[in-house]
Amino acid sequence: MKAIAVKAYHSMARLLFLPLQNYSIQQCKFVFLMNSTIIPASQLPLNPDGTIYHLRLLPEQIADTILLVGDPNRVKKISSFFDTIEHEVANREIVTHTGWYKGKRITALSTGMGTDNIDIVINELDALVNIDLKTRKQKEQHTRLTLIRLGTSGALQPEIPVGESFIASTHALGLDGLLHFYSGSEKHIDQPMTEAFKKYMDWNQLLPSPYVVKGTEALIKKLAFDYQKGVTATSPGFYGPQGRVLRLDLSDAKMNSKIESFEYEGRKITNFEMESSALYGLSSMLGHDALTICVIIANRVTEKFSGNYHPFMEKLIKNTLDRIVD
């Protein structure tokens, strides 16, 4: 049993990118059992046609490079640049187009809004490539996905212009708490920056505990080398959680001004959105590469807003496709 467990652990260690010397034989046995365990239907629901539950996709219907957008209508805009389209699938707010662009197979997929949707999408995308849906067992060979979110966002620094302004997220600051539901997430969180932020904000203990996760540097260098870089704050809502006031007052009226003035080792929080912390955190834990690039459509400090951001989004899409294949 010991030899089998060690052999299995070598396989899983490659999957999880873990150093062998840090783990005991007992942990090896646990990994072996996890790798051979059949995942029940309640944990991994499938549709009658064998597709994964929410995405309604089969493994062969996605590429290893996936462009994620919130708006389902933006998927069609991306695939309009494709040379050919192989698959078109839609379920609820999740629309998927897979095709070819200049010899590269690419998937465009809409997630809908929020980290709760990202939790569904990233887990099911990972399951499509790293779990055998027929046997319901983890695959021994890990497949690494490239996940690129193209979104819209509001700036939190006064000098960031609205419109043709792209921000690539070096880090995501999660105000949503989602990553804390997963065991081992602390190993993927930038603890010093997280603690510095909580202390600076005098963080309200009634709110989810923040966390900071780093994006994939190689993707930033390849796809966003000439864009502004910054830390993106991910909020669990659009109104109160981002400091907006309609008919309800805020528990902390100074939250946005404190976020704006926070700085850690030369890094500032540049923008607000609702997805990147879950994308970065889950991708890091599952062994995928991730990057968010946003078009700035509002500035929360100067109170400027652009309703006509679509030409800038189209430019970002085309830039990203060209840089992927370059």
Quote the pTM value.
0.89
Please state the rounded mean pLDDT for residues 231-236.
98
What pLDDT is attached to residue 43? Answer: 97
Whether 144 contacts 287, CB under 8 Å:
yes
Cβ-proximal residues to 324 (8 Å cutoff; 6+ apart), any chain:
65, 101, 104, 106, 148, 223
Tell me the pLDDT tens digit for each residue of 92-107.
Answer: 999 999 999 999 999 9
Q: Does residue 42 lie in a domain region?
A: no
**Is the model's pLDDT at 324 over the cut of 80?**
yes
Provide the pLDDT confidence category of residue 17 given band limits of 50, 70 and 90. Answer: very low
What pLDDT is attached to residue 307? Answer: 82
Tell whether 19 and 86 lie within a shared domain.
no
Please state the rounded mean pLDDT for residues 103-121.
98
Tell whether 60 and 28 lie within a shared domain.
no
What pLDDT is attached to residue 19? Answer: 44
Provide the pLDDT confidence category of residue 261 given band limits of 50, 70 and 90. Answer: very high
Tell me the pLDDT tens digit for each residue of 268-322.
Answer: 999 999 999 999 999 999 999 999 999 999 999 999 999 889 999 999 999 999 9
Tell whether 25 and 52 lie within a shared domain.
no
Q: Does residue 244 lie in a domain region?
A: yes
Tell whether 9 and 81 lie within a shared domain.
no
324 closest CA partner among 151, 107, 124, 144 = 107
Tell whether 66 and 19 lie within a shared domain.
no
Please state the rounded mean pLDDT for residues 205-212.
97
Tell me the pLDDT tens digit for each residue of 132-183.
Answer: 999 999 999 999 999 999 999 999 999 999 988 999 999 999 999 999 999 9
The CATH number for 313's domain is 3.40.50.1580
CA distance 73 to 53: 21
Tell whether 193 and 303 lie within a shared domain.
yes
Domain with 308, as residue range(s), is 47-325
Written as six digits, the tokens of 317 are 């899409």
**Is the model's pLDDT at 260 over the cut of 70?**
yes
**How many domains, in total, are found in the chain?**
2
C-alpha distance from residue 260 to each of 77, 146, 147, 246 (Å): 33, 30, 28, 21
Please state the rounded mean pLDDT for residues 226-253.
97
